[in-house]
Chains A and B, each alone.
Chain A
Amino acid sequence: MTDHAAQAPLALPASSRVLGQVARRAEAVVLPVAALLVGFAVFSIFLLVQGKSPADFFALTYRAGFGTAFSWQNTLSRTAPLLFAALCVALPARLGLVIIGGEGAMVLGGVAAGAAGVALSGAIGLIALPLMAAFAMIIGGLWIGAVGALRYYRGVNETIASLLMAYIAIALMNHLVEGPLRDPESLNKPSTAPLPTPLRVGDIPGWEVHWGLAFGVLCCVLAWVLIDKTTWGFAARIAGGNMRAAQVQGLAVGPLIIGFTALGGALAGLAGFFEVAAVHGSANASLASGYGYTGILIAFLARHNPLAIIPVAILLAGFEAASGLTQRRMDLPDATTLVLQGFVFVSILMSDTLYGRFKIFTPERWRTGDGK
């Protein structure tokens, strides 16, 4: 602090200022965690009603998702697409936009990567892979950027538009892999031609998890820097906090909306690229596996904070990785994981109304003399 500020009536001792800031940030951690626990509690009742033991469920989930090196490997490879999918929700959310159609950008990004791979099959990996990734990002960016443009120029609700466009994207993907892009040798499962080995993305050395995870984490960190540390991110936060105030300040709201939605879409497209180049080896219907939707839940749980997305995505990936085992062992229906996600989501949406209700999280509470 400068000398001047030290004389200002507001100047508080550094300790109480820090405490105040900690209190304010704690709110953003405590409430989502509490909401998560409430979601788990309601889900436990759901299990009890069916005569199943919640304790067994969570123990099994822990074992299958986080208990062994093998389960960690499974969890972390599922984490990669979830990181990108969550960013596709979290970045536009900073502008106050609720985008729930990241699945569409991911699916089309995967098809774009697969098609580019076929066209570049003779090239070496070092050249072809970046081109495939770039193509996937451009397609994904155009797809969700179009949602932003519809919103800005025509006032179309971005939530509905992105969801409906996801269905269009999936239909388009089915059309392409069953029609123009189909490899004649793919019989049971129509796919694009398999990528040659040099065009496959390998594992992070010593991890047995593909590189998508590293890039996903890197993108989360970069997204955090963009939002928290740059003037662009600050402008986006102003627009998200109050669109009218941003316009009165002369901020270029249109480019911000279209830019942030396109960036989110590009990252979802990148997830599609990794799914094709690192997991499936070709583009096919497996791309539409619901990662885009789980990403919505992750972004909301993380309060749209890109750094918080990392641990939340790992947690949810663990639940998805474990779902097969727990459902078989406990003889539960396939949709059980979806039910769990649904309960957590409703609980997290309700927790949104509680911000600012608890005195303990306000900086004033921690001013020296007032606090205990």
Chain B
Amino acid sequence: MTDIDGAIEVETLHMTMRFGAFTALDDCSIHIKPGSFHALLGENGAGKSTLVKCMMGFYHATSGEMLVNRKEARIADPKAAHTLGLGMVYQHFTLVPSLTAAENLVISREDAPQVINWRAERAALQAFMAKMPFQVPLDQPVRALAAGEKQKLEILKQLYLGRRFLILDEPTSVLTPDEADEVLGHVRKLCEDGIISVLMITHKFREVTAYADEVSVLRRGKLVGSGKVSDLTHADMAAMMMGDATLAEPGERTGGAGAPVLQVQGVRAQDRSGHKGIEIANLTVHAGEIVGIAGISGNGQMELMEILTGQRALLSGQVLVQGAPYGASRKEAFSNRVRYLPEEPLQNACAPRMSVTENIAFRSFDVHDGSKRFWLSPRDMRDRAANLVSAFKVKTASLDSPVQSLSGGNVQRAVLARELSGEVDLLVISNPCFGLDFSAVSEIRARIMSARNKNAAILLMSEDLDEIMELSDRVLVMSEGRIAHDTPIAEADIATIGHYMGGHA
């Protein structure tokens, strides 16, 4: 343990990071006062992670310097950052699930002895816990803890290791709104008591206004604004994040719901772990409506997607499309005009090493004027790809480039181009905008909305509640493998939805 006491002050001066010709971070100076809760806002690719990686010693900044407690600090590697009392809490948990909280804490120490005297350690841990403003049960395996408890333990671990400046990387992305409030409330308390200073990377304005006292905004690697949170509105922050980029508004909603297209009736299946069940009593999507399914990840959304794509066997029940049983074969999908946009398109909808042309051909390579093809037509594939790439503005060095060389937004555009061309009757979507930047997000949402207005039935699963609220005609909440809540958008209430997401029925 280090003997640093009290919150640490950290300041970066003109920090710049170049990767080859690309400038990821450009002359960025931010100042985190001791005991402050500082939020770092920015789109994907704005340079937030580059900045904190430079601070933690994962990267070495091309130029610029860093002050820790007003003294110049050269941080060669993360170990050096730790010695200075700097720590980081990652988006995903870094705890060992099969060990208890106590074991996780002790083994994370760099000076953990070869032979551990558990009696002494336990006494020390209890004394440490007693001093903390919040507690986590020490003797349960971490696997048994809820997500919020795990995140609290991650923060306690940093304190236990003597870190007094914490970088939190989207700490609430896997938490329910209630859990997020609890964890961030504790963090704010620790800051107010002068125990730590915090720099939190986030996308959520609500968390910034509710908990942070200062904010810095990055755009394209540059610091474009900072100040006291109390002086800024959400609109100000959004304007700083997006700059002068104009966003495509989601199109007007036109027309109402028509006949049912997708019906899931009394479906039961096993989940991925094989321990829990998925039970969907009744789920109907009508033509010309977007049904949004909200929920924390891991509550059966992936399994539902697999059921609808025919990758998961049903124990009972049935899936109907246009009133007829549907098994998701290529023929059925083709004749019913069913399209899928799985989450993380590079991993789930593309062959990463195959070319853009080939990936765009996945849905159409074997049909020609409605009949089956046996011989491939490279010429047709190429023409089609060239048309779609320009119509959907996919940025790629060439049509022959492997699709994995494209940026995330352009992979998603290429997949959208493939799946949204032609007539669509049913579209099943999962987290379409995950990890994409603002302009790509608004464009993709506009395309989804326009498919709805062309009378497609759309099932949208998303962990992003804002996305659900923006696009849906009807909102469902999925929790523990079941549809826990069902409400028209006009009556949807964020707080109620949040409660159902957290499993509070």
Contacts and interface: CB of A to CB of B under 8 A. Distances in A.
8 contacts: A2-B386, A5-B387, A8-B386, A10-B396, A241-B352, A245-B349, A248-B311, A363-B397
B332 A250 contact: yes
Nearest to B309: A248
A356 B402 contact: yes
B351 interface: yes
Interface in A230-249: 230-235, 237-238, 240-242, 244-245, 247-249
Contacts of B330: 249-252
Interface string A1-17: 11011001111100001
A9 B395 CA distance: 10
Interface size class of B (residues with CB under 8 A): 35 or more
Nearest to B383: A2
B387 A230 contact: no
Contacts of B389: 8, 10
A113 B122 CA distance: 73
A364 B401 contact: yes
Interface of A: 1-2, 4-5, 8-12, 17, 20-21, 24, 228-235, 237-238, 240-242, 244-245, 247-252, 356, 362-364, 367
A1 B362 contact: no
Given A229-B376, A230-B376, A247-B311, A362 B401 contact: yes
The 3 closest A-B pairs by CB, nearest first: A241-B351, A250-B330, A5-B386
A363 B350 contact: no
Contacts of A12: 398
A236 to B, nearest CB: 11
A4 B400 contact: no
A248 B401 contact: no
Interface in B77-105: none
Contacts of B349: 245, 248
B331 interface: yes
Given A12-B398, A235-B366, A244-B311, 9 more contacts: A5-B387, A8-B386, A10-B389, A231-B365, A233-B376, A235-B365, A238-B351, A245-B350, A245-B362
Nearest to A8: B390
Nearest to A11: B386
B38 to A, nearest CB: 39
Residue of B328, B362, B365 with highest tally of chain A CB at under 10 A: B362
Residue of B332, B383, B390 with highest tally of chain A CB at under 10 A: B390
A240 B386 CA distance: 24
B397 A367 contact: yes
Nearest to B353: A241
A364 B396 CA distance: 9
Given A20-B400, A241-B353, A250-B330, A234 B365 contact: yes
B342 A5 contact: no
Nearest to B348: A244
B310 A250 contact: yes
B347 interface: yes
Contacts of B348: 242, 244-245, 248
B397 A364 contact: yes
A5 B402 CA distance: 19
Nearest to A16: B398
Contacts of A10: 386, 389-390, 396, 398-399
Contacts of A1: 382-383, 386
Contacts of B399: 10
B374 interface: yes
B180 to A, nearest CB: 31
Interface string B324-339: 0000111111100000
A249 B351 CA distance: 12
